[in-house]
Amino acid sequence: MISGIFGILVAMLVVPATAGAAPSTPSGGASAAGWAASHDGKQPYPGVAVTWDVPIRMSDGTILRANIYRPADGAGRATTKRDPVIVNMTPYTKLITAVGAAVTQHPVLEPLLRQLVTAVNQVATPIRDFADISQLTNTLRDGGAKTFMVDLDLVRSGYTQVVVDVRGTGFSQGKWDVFQSREQADTTEVIDWAARQRWSNGKVGMSGVSYSAINQIQAANKNPKALKAIFPVEPGGDLIRDIVAPGGALGAGFLPLWLTLVNTTKMVPNVASMLNGTFDWKWLADRISDPLTFYPQLLAALVTPDVKSVPPQLDELLTDNSEPRKAWQDNAERITTPTFIYGGWFDLFTNSEVRMYNKIPLPPGHKQLMMGDGYHLTIGGGQQGRRGTPPRLDVLQKAWFDKWLKGIDNNVDSYGPVNLKQVGYQWISAQQFPRAGMSRQRLYLGDRRSGTAPYAVRDGSLTTATPATRGRMTVSPGLLTLCSRDSAQQTAGALALFPFCAEDARIPERNALTFTTAPMRTTRSVSGYTNLHLNTVMDATDGYWTATLNDVAPDGSSKVISSGQVMASLRGYDRSRSQFAPNGDVIDPFYNLTLASRQPVTPGTPVGVDIGLLPTEALIKPGHRLRVDVFAMNVPRGLPLRPLLNESQLKPQHIQLDPQRPSFVNLPLSTPIS
């Protein structure tokens, strides 16, 4: 969600695509060269005509405000032709969208910004060991900002774009409804409105990043007649499990910053209306009545001392089938609109992106999935628009809309259907995710030293055979995860500027139990979901377990490729919505995450805990090792809700080694480890 705001502060630069043979590889081949030419070449309209702050009345009388961008001639006169319409619903005020598009796509400013990016890369070289600024500058070339803002080339090619401030934000009236039923009704009403305008041909698509991507999923699951295609970039599909309380711990690194951002920008008034005497006093009254949306819930999560004192506004977030819990489900199984999902292995919404793609009941090609290995801020991560990589996102978006809104036979439906960036390595294409041909294998946690992590709390081993030893391995809550890949993920990628945190886990591993395999003899892939089953003992009635799966290089560097977390008392999962291996092991536990389903721990008594790790696609090369890290805290990715934190008393937590009740990780491997 912050990714869009970041996008307006920087330039999104264009890099020529590379031609190839056919859209059967990540590059897209010759077809992709055609998509790039269609986007970057001369367009039928030289200009863009903008109509500002157009009122759209909702069924309850609330007025939303929209900016409308239409193809125009050189004098700025809008075409009289009816065109397809692209709708973008934003909570970040369409003023930011307008300014960002004007700056980053200006014929004079854009070349200057190119030079600035080049200069920053050159200046960054001496300090790259400390701060990898190139990650951000490389991101500028991938076309992602245009999917957040307005792609003026897309408009000039014959599309009308409508950017709308969602209810209670920007210049729109009402109270911010944060993805709930009234906001969802607004989106479908805007689609219907756009389809009926004199400049519309009745066909509507949707675009946008993060918040705007979630709006797309929510609209598509209602299948409005006019909606013909969506291109959601980094969409969430289950907000409780994605960012609010992943594993039952508050997303403390992201939520406060994001809520502050939206609640601040929604207070920015329409200065032009103040000057011309048309100021909207209803807008002001709505803002005064609800200045700090969702802050009461956030504060309650941080200060409520015990479960019995949880206030109603927080309780409904922790109750199944409450209004927000129901509204925040993607219901992707209802979607029949052609959908192209872009996500990332370290995005805020990794949990949902793959899951939504698999639930959509459309044939491959009509639905497509692209997963990079960047963060929420680094859309594309500088990994697209180059030889052997996928086309830029703005190029793909136009090709997608050309196919489904204009009926152009450009082969984009033959692309992919799944394109995946192997963490730290290259792009690959597949027919599905998880990829076919993976074998499930258990690797067991033991206390025999691997010799690879002497700095850890305990350096253990990961083996194919069940260890015969008994005993305990103890880990206490620590704060070194503040410098970790999970911290970079929770800050939407801001911490990824510091590679010694985001790219190497040896600092946080000083607060962890580590379990490491012998070196790999051959290359193998990890593709899919991983689950860590722990036989635990706690000294309190609750505890917080977090884990990562790492690729350990011969030089000792430890790169996280996946992670997961769960509160011990919220370890229960819905079997009907979880996935299991052929041997019965759970591999993707769908936690209930409700107060009613809590299972307080009996101190001193062994209890099994399953930690579901996010899906991943990774390559483990010869000489590298796999490692599992286990922590008792994961700030800021997760901070236990205050009642549960108090119950845990921040006491040490133990893995009980017992051959009869072993702890193990269940992995999806292309080649089993022998």
For helices 295-303 and 255-265, give the axis angle rounded to 10 degrees.
150
Question: What pLDDT does 1 receive?
Answer: 47
Mean pLDDT of 521-530: 98
Q: Are 631 and 475 in contact (CB under 8 A)?
A: yes
| pLDDT at position 81 over 60 | yes
**pLDDT of 470-493, one tens digit each?**
999 999 999 999 999 999 999 998
Predicted TM-score (pTM) of this structure:
0.93
| pLDDT at position 100 over 90 | no
From residue 300, alpha-carbon distances to 291, 306, 543, 643 in Å are 17, 11, 20, 10
| Alpha helix stretches (DSSP H) within 63-179 | 94-104, 109-124, 134-139, 144-148, 152-156
Pairing of strands 200-209, 227-233: parallel
**pLDDT of 463-476, one tens digit each?**
999 999 999 999 99
Residues 6+ apart with CB under 8 A from 533: 585, 586, 608, 609, 610, 611, 663, 664, 665, 666
From residue 271, alpha-carbon distances to 69, 165, 170, 291 in Å are 21, 16, 12, 19
Q: Is the dihedral of CA 453, 455, 457, 458 positive or negative?
A: positive
- Strand-pair partners of 233: 209, 342
Mean pLDDT of 559-572: 98
From residue 6, alpha-carbon distances to 206, 314, 378, 549 in Å are 21, 30, 9, 29
| Alpha helix stretches (DSSP H) within 199-292 | 211-220, 239, 255-265, 271-276, 281-289
Which of helix, strand or coil describes residue 624?
coil
- Strand-pair partners of 306: none
Q: Rg of the chain's alpha carbons, rounded to an integer?
A: 25
Gap between the Cα atoms of 379 and 342, Å rounded: 9
Up-side HSE of residue 514: CA atoms within 13 Å toward CB? 28
Pairing of strands 418-421, 427-430: antiparallel
Q: How far apart are the first and last CA of the chain?
A: 43
Gap between the Cα atoms of 400 and 404, Å rounded: 6
Gap between the Cα atoms of 20 and 411, Å rounded: 13
Gap between the Cα atoms of 565 and 486, Å rounded: 11
Burial 631-667 (b: 16+ CB within 10 A, else e): bbbbbbbbbbbbbbbbbbeebebbbbbbeeebbbbbb
Residues 6+ apart with CB under 8 A from 557: 503, 504, 506
Gap between the Cα atoms of 136 and 313, Å rounded: 38
| pLDDT at position 118 over 60 | no
Percentage of the chain beyond pLDDT 70 is: 90
Q: Are 168 and 174 in contact (CB under 8 A)?
A: yes
Q: Are 633 and 542 in contact (CB under 8 A)?
A: no
Gap between the Cα atoms of 228 and 494, Å rounded: 35
Gap between the Cα atoms of 52 and 579, Å rounded: 49
Percentage of the chain beyond pLDDT 90 is: 85
**pLDDT of 160-199, one tens digit each?**
999 999 999 999 999 999 999 999 999 999 999 999 999 9
For helices 255-265 and 2-9, give the axis angle rounded to 10 degrees.
60
| pLDDT at position 588 over 80 | yes
Gap between the Cα atoms of 124 and 344, Å rounded: 25
Residue 253 burial by CB count (10 A; 0-12/13-18/19+): exposed, middle or buried?
A: buried
Region for 593 from its dihedrals, namely left if φ exceeds 0, alpha if ψ lies in -120 to 50, beta otherwise: left
Mean pLDDT of 543-560: 98
Gap between the Cα atoms of 624 and 569, Å rounded: 35
Gap between the Cα atoms of 177 and 169, Å rounded: 9
**pLDDT of 14-47, one tens digit each?**
333 333 334 679 999 999 999 999 999 999 999 9
Q: Closest Cα to residue 544, out of 456, 628, 479, 626? A: 479
Question: What pLDDT does 618 receive?
Answer: 98
Mean pLDDT of 207-226: 97
Pairing of strands 200-209, 83-90: parallel
